[in-house]
Homo-oligomer: A and B are copies of this chain.
């Protein structure tokens, strides 16, 4: 495995989507000595110009700008891969266009519009032989990887229940979406479901061996009323009477329970339109112990000291465990020096993609994972629309989850070797 300081073979990229997510990621990629950005694309010309300016003075200074992604992929020679960081609903269609041209797509996170597009993604990849990776940065979070390390070493015993959440007050961003050209607004106004499942679900799916010996079988999803964003719009968008009066469809708190073939359950929470501190609401619970993100606390049977009396079970701070079970990838990374956004994990997920391409290795988050995780959004909408009815989660692997499959090894691996 290549150390962080040693560049691999150069990967030539196109970048699609240069907004609040695409722009900082572009800058991070532009700093990598073994990455060359051939072209950048956004539907907004000013964003293209901003991106090209950012590349001036880098080794990707001769990149070309486009406002049409298909044209970019058609016209630029030697583009091995594209990184798609556009609106949620265009991730899969653009990934399919890339595969049609034998260009490897990396998709930023998001939820699917329909089950059909998830199947199309899997089937296009299968037919074309072009692999796909989702850039789920939270799979490379420091805490997430330390927890994974603990799970692999049996600290929690047999896993039974996991929780994760996207609890993030985005009222300002959503409420001003029409001014800020942010696609989130149209999703929150019109859809009702678990719009953004993968930050929480990705790391959990890897803990539970989803698509590798286990799979998610069904879910139920229930939405609360939508009160938070409506109240915010009334108070803050006096400039837009139409928007002020709009009915917001996405419930403030969308709660989803997923049942797995192995008997584990997963609770997901989507909570973006009420005032609150940010949390990914992590919980990992097994026959030997429990970890909770919200109070950074842990209880491990036989290790956590007992208190005398009836209430013998008390929490410990998780810090000593986090230090003891620091993931090897993060030890290396801290020595190399964290960089990029979201506590350093943005850099790691991009490197996981780049280095797998360099080594022609399977992606740690593959097309099955991408389709399965994204499908939760469409399935959640279906369940809510049917009053919380259980809906089946398709087996996008078509039975491959039952047998061992090639896994990424080395420092970016997220799957337990089977």
**Known contacts A160-B253, A294-B292; is-contact A278 B313 (Cβ 8 Å):** yes
Contact of A263 among B224, B286, B315 (CB under 8 A): B224
Closest Cβ of chain B to A327, distance in Å, is: 23
Q: Which chain B residue has the least Cβ–Cβ distance from A267?
A: B255
How many angstroms from the CA of A274 to the CA of B290 in the assembled complex?
9
Interface residue tally for chain A (C-beta within 8 Å):
52
Q: Does A344 contact B (CB under 8 A)?
A: no
Q: Which chain B residue has the least Cβ–Cβ distance from A392?
A: B387
CB distance B277 to A314 under 8 Å? yes
Q: Which chain B residue has the least Cβ–Cβ distance from A277?
A: B313
CB distance B388 to A257 under 8 Å? yes
A residues touching B (Cβ–Cβ < 8 Å)? Answer: 157-158, 160-161, 169, 218, 220, 222-225, 227-228, 231, 251-253, 255, 257, 259, 262-265, 267, 271, 274-278, 285-290, 292, 294-295, 297, 299-301, 311, 313-315, 387-390
How many angstroms from the CA of A382 to the CA of B157 in the assembled complex?
30
**Known contacts A225-B264, A257-B257, A313-B276; is-contact A252 B160 (Cβ 8 Å):** yes
Contacts of A255 in B (CB 8 A): 161, 257, 265, 267
CB distance B288 to A218 under 8 Å? no
Contact of A275 among B218, B294, B297, B299 (CB under 8 A): B299
Closest Cβ of chain B to A193, distance in Å, is: 14
Contacts of A231 in B (CB 8 A): 157-158, 287
Contact of A277 among B253, B278, B299, B389 (CB under 8 A): B299
How many angstroms from the CA of A290 to the CA of B277 in the assembled complex?
9
Contact of A224 among B161, B271, B292, B314 (CB under 8 A): B161
CB distance A228 to B292 under 8 Å? no
Q: A220-B222, A277-B311, A388-B390 are in contact. List 8 more A-B contacts (CB 8 A).
A: A160-B228, A218-B387, A225-B263, A252-B285, A253-B265, A255-B267, A257-B257, A389-B390
